[in-house]
Structure 1
Amino acid sequence: MKQARFLDWYLKIAIDRLSSAEEWNDKVTVLEAEKRAYENSPEAQAVREALNPWRNKDAEATKTP
């Protein structure tokens, strides 16, 4: 009898958890899209170049034996 009494309570908790997971997934998807958009921007490219100005020189050095 106790199982039947608490079944609706467990069902409500499960539905709440699923809806929270969907909201979290939506937020993560938006954040990942913003991150990809920033990584492909000219500003991000300038930051990468500023942080490692020798990157292209290192690549050229490894190509030429």
Structure 2
Amino acid sequence: MKFLDWYLKIAAVSAMIGGSMELFMIKTGFYDKVTVLESEKRAWESSPEAQAVREALNPWRDNDKQAR
């Protein structure tokens, strides 16, 4: 408990920095942009083109079937 005041100061400063970062992201619309980008990414990943690319780039996809 020798350095309790030091740890409390670090915790307080860290909380203030984290809170200011969250406030900045909310004010700039960061979360709205990320939500749109994530939905576009998920839509593309479920498309047939993405499935074809995954299959083409994975040369080991049939190794499990051959091992059995």
- TM-score, normalization by structure 2: 0.55
Which residue in 1 is equivalent to 2:52? 46
Q: Which has the higher helix share?
A: 1
Identify unmatched segments of 5+ residues in structure 1.
Answer: 1-13
Q: Within the alignment, does 1:61 sit opposite 2:54 as a pair?
A: no
SS at 1:61 equivalent: helix
Q: Which amino acid is the alignment partner of residue 34 of structure 1?
A: E
Identify unmatched segments of 5+ residues in structure 2.
Answer: 1-19
Q: C-alpha offsets along residues 14-47 of structure 1, whole Å, 9 cap, x if unaligned? A: 7x73412xx1000001000100010110000010
Q: Which amino acid is the alignment partner of residue 19 of structure 1?
A: K
Percent identity, aligned pairs only? Answer: 59
> What is the alpha-carbon distance in structure 2 between the residues aligned to residue 30 and residue 36 of structure 1?
10
Runs of 4+ with >6 A deviation: none
Instruction: Report the number of matched residues.
Output: 46
- TM-score, normalization by structure 1: 0.58
Q: CA RMSD in A?
A: 2.0
